[in-house]
Amino acid sequence: MISNAPSAPLLSVRNLGVSFSRKGRSAPAVLDAAFEVRRGEVVAIVGESGSGKTTLAMTVLGLLAGNGTVTSGSIEFDGEEMLGASAKRWTEVRGSRIGLVPQDPMSNLNPMRRIGDQVGEVLLRHRRATRRNLEKECCRLLERAGVSDPRTRLYQYPHQLSGGLRQRVLIAIGTACDPQLLIADEPTSALDVTVSARILDQIAEISRAAGMAVLLITHDLGLAAERADRVIVMQHGRVVETGEAARILSSPEHPYSRQLVAADPGVRARIGSSTFKAPRFDPEDRIVEIDAVSKIYRRRRRDEPVLANTDVSLSVPRGSTVALVGESGSGKTTVSRLMLKLEEPSSGSLHFDGVDIMEMDRTQIADFRKRVQPVFQDPYASLNPMMTVRSIVREGLDHHRIGTRTERDGRVDRLLEQVGLKPELASRHPSELSGGQRQRVAIARAMSMEPELLVCDEPVSALDVVVQRQVLDLLRELQQQKGLSYLFITHDLAVVREFADIVYVMRGGRIVEWADTPAIFQRPQDPYTWQLLESAGMAGPRTV
């Protein structure tokens, strides 16, 4: 971050309008947008999905989709008007002077080509690098982006790398030519908190060393305030507020900016307006008890065993929310699959309401399936695209033959109303719903069985902060009304701080620390817990 950036704008966008044609109709996506990015400055554009952030960034890159049209305005880069520039000119500028770090590495890296070929392509096109020194230069770029063992990575394919390493490869590609402007479009949205912090540190380090400006596209206002010099807030295609990051965070002027600040638990934690949840449960009345559970995977009989969980013990008091936190690969999701009886433990025991779930008979299993329901991470993947909302919510009722068809439909209507969905949505398919609406459908489907325990695996990580707040408020309300218990799997510590009663911290398949939520956040006992809090910007003075 550069606080004293020179005043001459590197990028100047004035009165920009963009629309898309769909079925013969024109729909505006960006309306009269205007902003500047100065040399060496970090500017963040924030807003929820559909606000026009990515459309604006792609227009600046000259990569507007085929059905998109610039209807008005000007884009000036380093004193040159780029609207109306030839394809040849855009090819010269894009990659060499304006770089891009896109959101999803698996969609933006070619799965059929080695990493070295994809990094080297930029150098061959823009730097006229020779084949002789290409490997050395690719290694340098990967190492600069924080990729471990870069020479080995050159010959690997994207699927052989972790999510964090794939994102670092995109950073290496986007910064290969030391561009004057780097556009980072949601560069960490799919990553856990510690990897996200490292990725953002890497972008900041490279941009500072090269003196490049950064245009950061994000829906995370807390991240924007922490990493940017200035913040641009977008809503419905319009720029509604622009200002210094600290000012936007502490005293936003536009109602939508205030809504973003109020909805973001990370921001509330930073400015001291976040509160811990008041416990309303008996800690001795446990609906779930997991005792010394280990899970070993073998791909083939002769393969070396892979320990996913080692001696995991935890309990969920009835009516409480227990959060399981840790980095990707820490073993959180394996615990949730074991609790849902989708996997069997290699050792140890899991009890639900006093009964060992591994020793249940068929009748008990059928009852267990009603009383324990999942809410999965991705509402796009967890709902059948061929079924209507009514059929999805009614599916469990149909399977267990609960009530008559008319009674089931009436129950579906009541469930949709309970989760805040209009009755007319019942006839729609998932593709016709927003992400927040899809997740409400998933919650309604889970609630159709009148469960006692919801196993929520990253239930809000795919949602914008405003929608995330709405879904969390819904889960709180359902817990108060129905006495539900939640096993909440997440890497979002800001959500955990306000939503959970008890926190278990996992690392490498083991529980390294557990305590009630205030103790975890105010007095962490394990160094790894403090590291997680520090990565999320919520750590106090180090005491471990």
Tell me the pLDDT tens digit for each residue of 236-279: 999 999 999 889 888 999 999 999 888 887 776 665 555 677 77
Tell me the pLDDT of the chain averaged across its residues: 89
Which of 235, 263, 291 is where one domain is finished?
Answer: 263
What are the residues whose beta carbons fall under 8 Å from the beta carbon of 306, sequence distance 6 or more? 296, 297, 298
Q: Specify the pLDDT at position 226.
A: 85
Structural domain includes residue 366: no
- Are 402 and 348 contained in the same domain? no
The alpha carbon of 404 is separated from its chain's Cα centroid by a whole number of angstroms, namely 40
Indicate the burial class of 264 (C-beta count within 10 angstroms; 0-12, 13-18, 19 or more). buried
- Are 302 and 348 contained in the same domain? yes
Structure tokens at 237: 């295609």
Helix (H) or strand (E) holding 27: strand 25-38
Which of 156, 176, 196 is where one domain is finished?
Answer: 176
Q: Report DSSP state, residue 148.
A: S
Query: At residue 46, does pLDDT exceed 60?
Result: yes
Query: At residue 60, does pLDDT exceed 60?
Result: yes
Q: Report DSSP state, residue 496.
A: H
- Are 20 and 80 contained in the same domain? yes
Distance CA 489, CA 375 (A): 10
Structural domain includes residue 407: yes
Name the one residue in this structure whose structure tokens are 């159709």. 448
State the CATH number of the domain containing residue 313: 3.40.50.300
Distance CA 198, CA 19 (A): 36
CB burial readout 297-315, b (16+ within 10 A) else e: eeeeeeeeeeebbbebebb
- Are 13 and 148 contained in the same domain? no
- Are 462 and 518 contained in the same domain? yes
Residue 541 — pLDDT band, cuts 50, 70, 90? low
Structural domain includes residue 364: no
Structural domain includes residue 269: no
Which of 451, 476, 504 is where one domain is finished?
Answer: 451
What are the residues whose beta carbons fall under 8 Å from the beta carbon of 7, sequence distance 6 or more? 38
* ∠ Cα 435 480 349 (to 5°): 85
Q: In this structure, how many other beta carbons lie within 10 angstroms of the beta carbon of residue 21?
A: 12
Q: Specify the pLDDT at position 3.
A: 42
Instruction: Please tell me the total count of domains within the chain.
Output: 4
In 428-484, beta strands by DSSP E: 453-457
The alpha carbon of 268 is separated from its chain's Cα centroid by a whole number of angstroms, namely 18
Tell me the pLDDT tens digit for each residue of 327-354: 887 889 899 999 999 999 999 999 999 9
Tell me the pLDDT tens digit for each residue of 94-143: 989 999 998 878 889 999 999 999 999 999 988 877 777 899 999 999 99
Distance CA 477, CA 220 (A): 25
Query: At residue 5, does pLDDT exceed 50?
Result: no
| Domain of 77, in residue numbers | 1-97+181-263
Q: Specify the pLDDT at position 274.
A: 59
List beta partners, residue 233: 46, 241
Give the dihedral sign, CA 216/222/228/232.
positive
Structural domain includes residue 73: yes
Over residues 443-463, the mean pLDDT reads 89
- Are 4 and 91 contained in the same domain? yes
Q: Specify the pLDDT at position 535.
A: 84
Phi and psi, residue 457, nearest 5°: -100, 100
Structural domain includes residue 376: no
Distance CA 491, CA 194 (A): 9
What are the residues whose beta carbons fall under 8 Å from the beta carbon of 147, sequence distance 6 or more? 153, 165, 168, 169, 172
Structural domain includes residue 162: yes
DSSP-derived 3-state class of residue 507: strand
* ∠ Cα 266 270 272 (to 5°): 115
Among 77, 75, 9, CA closest to 37: 9
- Are 287 and 422 contained in the same domain? no
Over residues 432-447, the mean pLDDT reads 88
pLDDT > 90: percent of the chain: 62
Phi and psi, residue 17, nearest 5°: -125, 135
Over residues 275-304, the mean pLDDT reads 84
Query: At residue 514, does pLDDT exceed 90?
Result: yes
- Are 83 and 109 contained in the same domain? no
Q: Report DSSP state, residue 543.
A: -
Range in 350-354, 385-389, 465-469, 520-524 with the lowest mean pLDDT: 465-469
- Are 456 and 543 contained in the same domain? yes
Distance CA 153, CA 184 (A): 23
Q: Specify the pLDDT at position 2.
A: 46
- Are 253 and 124 contained in the same domain? no
Tell me the pLDDT tens digit for each residue of 183-230: 999 888 767 778 888 889 999 999 999 899 999 998 888 788 889 999
DSSP H helical segments within 326-371, as ranges? 332-339, 362-371
Distance CA 532, CA 528 (A): 6
- Are 412 and 517 contained in the same domain? no
Structural domain includes residue 470: yes
- Are 282 and 238 contained in the same domain? no
Residue 498, CB-side half-sphere exposure with 13 Å CA sphere: 22
Over residues 165-189, the mean pLDDT reads 92
